[in-house]
Each structure stands twice: as structure tokens, then as C-alpha cells.
Structure 1
Amino acid sequence: MQLFSTFENNIYLEIAISSLEGVGIKQEAIYAVPLDNRTEKRKVFDTLHRSDGTSLIDIGVGLATAFSVIGASIGFELRWGPIFCGLIAAFIGFVIGFAIRLFTEVILNKRKLLKGKKSEVIVIIDCEKAQCEVVENILWEHFALGVAKVE
């Protein structure tokens, strides 16, 4: 039987492996594989086939709506009228909102990170069916992020 588990790369992984060896699992039956993290930088603009869930125009659309209402209200007293003043104010609001979002996403580099903990090491353990319960408990006690059994 094989057990697969994922861990962060910390001292608890080493303690879990030592505990497994203490229970009678041979060192040759424990296989730990570190994962490579993404080195490619995220792209700012989305494509039709890939999206990261962040939008650069959400603040711009909100500000465009607010500015257009204010611009149209003021436009009743101006020479150009409410329509042109509302459109100009909407464009200005959109540009300001887009600039704010672009600044926070690109220049400050505050992109969405993965929430929670990242798996960094996969541990594969070959054991007998009788030892499976004990091995699984040891993995959970030492803060495994996930555990799966395969017969």
C-alpha cells in the first residue's frame, strides 16, 4: 500500500520521517520529492484562455459611474451641457480608477498570492496494510497538508 502526503519544507517533515522510521518503515520505503516553485512572472493582462481573477477595470468602472453622475449634474449649468460633461467626467473617472489599479497591481507588485499554505514536498511511503493507519496518523500529527492512500 502507498500513502502520499504533502508537507511544507520545515522541521515537522523531518520529525515525521524520523517517526516513521521509528515505527518500522524502512528508509528505502520513504520517498520525499521537493516541488519547484513557479519562477515565471505573472502577466498583467489576461487572454481569452487564461485569467488570474484580478480585474484592472473594476475601480475604473465604479469611478466612471460616480464621476459621470457628478459631471452630468454640473453640466446643466455649463455651456457644453450635461451629456458632454457627463461623458468627459466618466472618461476622467475611468482613467483615474484604471491608474489606481495599475499602480497597485504592477508598480507596487501586490498581486494575489495563493491563500493558505503551499505544498513544497511530496512524501510517498510504501507500507503494509496493517501499518497504514499508524502511518497516516503520524503524517497528520506532524502537520501534513494532505494525505491520500492507494492500494
Structure 2
Amino acid sequence: MQIFSTFEHSTYLELAITSLEKVGIKDERILAVPLISRVEERRLFDTLHRADGISLFDKGAAIGTAFSVIGASVGFILEWGPIYWGLIGAATGFLVGFIIDYIIFKVVHKRKRVVRGKKSDVVLVVDCPSELVEKVEEVLWEHLALGVAKVEDAR
């Protein structure tokens, strides 16, 4: 039977492996695989199939609407008229809002972009006889495994 568990990369993982060896699991039957964390930058623009919940469009649309109303109102007095000044105000407002969101995303949130909560860094696979399954699961939970699953052999 195989038992899979995930751990944070810490001394608890080492203690769990040592305890498994004391229970009677040979070290050839224990496999610890470290996971590689994602390091690529988030994309600025979402696609139809992939969205991360960050939008650079919202503030631009709101500020663009406000600037277009102001531009159209002031445009009655100015030479080009309300339509042109409304469009100029909308474009200017959208650019201002987009730049604000971009600066917030790139500068402010870059410092805070840490993963909250517990993250699994290592997958531990234990191949053990069926009579030791309960004891192995108990050892893994005692050493703060984030998750444990067991798979029966198809032999």
C-alpha cells in the first residue's frame, strides 16, 4: 500500500521520516519529492480562459466616465465642442485610471505578493505493508502533515 502526504519544508518532515524508519519502514520505501514553487510573474491582462481577479480596467472606466462628463460639460464653452472634449476627457481619464492601477499592481502589491496560509512544499510517498498503514498514518498526522491519502496496490 502506498501512502501520500504533503508537508511544509521543515524539521517536522525530517522527524516524520525518522519516525517512519523507527516504525519499521525501510528508507528505500520512503520517497520525499520537493515541489518547485511558481516564480513567474502574473499576467497583466486576463484572457477568456484564465483570470486572476486583478483588473486594470475598472478604475480607468470609472475615471474615464467622470472625465468625459466633465469634458462634455466644459466643451460647451470651448472651441471644439462637447463631443470632442467628452472623448478627450474619456481617453484621458481612462489612461489616468489605468496608470494608477498599473502602479498599484507593480509597486505596492509586488511587496505584498506572498502566499498566505500553509503551502505544501514536499510530497512524501511511503510504500508500506498493509499491517503498518494505520501506524504510518498516525505518525504522519503527528508530525503535522498537511494532507494524507492512501492508495492500495493493484497487485
Deviations 1:95-133 (A, max 9, x none): 011111222333556285545333221111011222222
Distance 1:45 1:125, change over 3 A: same
Distance 1:150 1:47 in 2: 37
The answer to whether the Cα contact below 8 Å between 1:44 and 1:106 also exists between their aligned partners in 2 is: no
Indicate the residue corresponding to 2:2 in structure 1: 2
Indicate the residue corresponding to 1:119 in structure 2: 120
3-state SS of paired residue (2:145): coil
Distance 2:139 2:74 in 1: 70
2:74 is the counterpart of 1:85: no
**Greater mean alpha carbon deviation, residues 75-84 or residues 132-141:** 75-84
Distance 1:95 1:115 in 2: 32
Indicate the residue corresponding to 2:67 in structure 1: 67
Distance 1:130 1:66, change over 3 A: farther
3-state SS of paired residue (2:18): helix
Distance 1:70 1:130 in 2: 77
Distance 2:65 2:146 in 1: 45
RMSD across aligned positions (CA): 2.8
Normalising by structure 1, report the TM-score: 0.78
The CA deviation at 1:20 is 1.6
Indicate the residue corresponding to 1:137 in structure 2: 138
3-state SS of paired residue (1:144): coil
Distance 2:113 2:74 in 1: 38
Distance 1:114 1:53, change over 3 A: farther
State the identity as a percent.
58
1:22-37 map, 5 Å: 22-37=22-37
Distance 1:127 1:85, change over 3 A: same
Distance 2:95 2:69 in 1: 16
Distance 1:63 1:112 in 2: 26
Normalising by structure 2, report the TM-score: 0.76
Unaligned segments of structure 1, at least 5 residues:
none
Aligned length: 151
Unaligned segments of structure 2, at least 5 residues:
none
Distance 1:112 1:86 in 2: 38
